[in-house]
Structure 1
């Protein structure tokens, strides 16, 4: 693959994975915009690994806590703070795994990769994010995360398998609806992304296999490294801006892009 395509792919994935503007939608649209073939699932896995590394590094304190709680969780000691976080992350991931298997078995996964679908989801879920951000409460922080909230946010996250929805965007929408403030909504959404990305990446690896030629391995390494750097930058920028800026700028972008895509799709 051409180097410029790899760079664009990695940057687009890195930035859009955590900003509430849909990475899957942009990855589907990128080949159409460049007039090239689809980059293929293995490169999709590569850039997802890069973004996974970025979110683990950025939220390492929380990740370390969850990892330290796994042995306690196995032993049934749920009074340990890390064990509770691990359990809630697992529970929040179950809906997206079930829905993902359903889409793969029914073939709806490929059927939804259209410009019209992405246009409608960009527009509709963008406006929903704006509405919940304006009307949602600010009484909860990440330490208040409960079993009920994990299940509800997990169901919201499952909807993100529809291209153009945005995994981070829809999960933040769910968190704001439950009363979490902006910063903690984003924190929970980012932590939920770790097992979700691991699950989707593992599935794609099994689906595509790992037989790579030299050039393909090189492309994968380049894409992974660049996605890691761009995702880390996007995370730092978004978390810093949330202290003073709402999600409205992202919503405006989604609405404009959604209207453009719908105009193209229906003409």
Structure 2
């Protein structure tokens, strides 16, 4: 496993995982554009471990009271804003699990890796992100979300199975349309990523467990996880800080430019 391939793929995964620019699209495009070989499932699992570690560490001070409130709600059968948020995150995760299962069992791999689809998805959802960012009220925080609101965001997250959509992009978009402030929309999107990354990593690990694989290069996996985690943490930190001061327009412009370049390249 070439070290530069490891560095490039790990950094791209970490940088794009939580930004509204579609990590899956970049990870599909990069090997094709740079002729990078597929690193295999074990490496994908390592990258997910890095991304998960980043979001858990960033929200470590928020997660403790959230899970205390969730545990208390199971004992008392009463909900407050914090426990409702945890239950809502779990509820909002079901749509993407169902869609992921259908895609895994069906024969959609070739279609979902289509360059045309990635280009069009970038343009369409970039426009939707701009519209939501420009016109949204931005008057609520994530604790004000109802279960209905969170299910809507979860349904939108399921659409992100299509590369080019961006899981964080579409969940932030719908959260903005529901009236959330930019930073609140981003925080809820990041919290929603935790069970998704855990399930994705567990699924890949289960597939890996059933397959006969060559000896694992633990140094390569460790480097990939470390670089993915560090870059993802930096991106979470910077995005939250940037959204306190600016709009999502730079990400919209990036996605439009990427989509247009891809279309021109394919023609």
Does the 8 A contact of 1:78 with 1:84 survive in 2? no
RMSD: 1.7
CA apart distance, 1:232: 0.8
Are 2:220 and 1:219 aligned?
A: yes
CA apart distance, 1:59: 1.3
Unaligned runs of 5+ in 1: none
- Map of 1:135 onto structure 2: 135
How does the TM-score come out when normalised to structure 1?
0.94
- Map of 1:241 onto structure 2: 242
Distance 1:172 1:94 in 2: 18
Aligned pairs for 1:25-104 within 5 A: 25-75=25-75, 77-104=77-104
Are 2:267 and 1:254 aligned?
A: no
Unaligned runs of 5+ in 2: none
How does the TM-score come out when normalised to structure 2?
0.94
CA apart distance, 1:44: 1.8
Cα distance change of structure 1 residues 264 and 215 upon mapping to structure 2, 3 Å threshold: same
Does the 8 A contact of 1:93 with 1:154 survive in 2? yes
Distance 2:18 2:196 in 1: 13
Cα distance change of structure 1 residues 109 and 145 upon mapping to structure 2, 3 Å threshold: farther
Distance 1:85 1:225 in 2: 30
CA apart distance, 1:109: 3.7
Distance 1:76 1:96 in 2: 30
Does the 8 A contact of 2:82 with 2:143 survive in 1? no
Query: How many residues in Structure 1 have an aligned counterpart in Structure 2?
Result: 266
Task: State the Cα deviation string for residues 172-202 of structure 1 (Å, max 9, x = none).
Answer: 0010110101110101001100011111111
- Map of 2:196 onto structure 1: 196
Cα distance change of structure 1 residues 78 and 110 upon mapping to structure 2, 3 Å threshold: farther
Does the 8 A contact of 1:46 with 1:223 survive in 2? yes
Distance 1:88 1:201 in 2: 21
Cα distance change of structure 1 residues 145 and 205 upon mapping to structure 2, 3 Å threshold: same
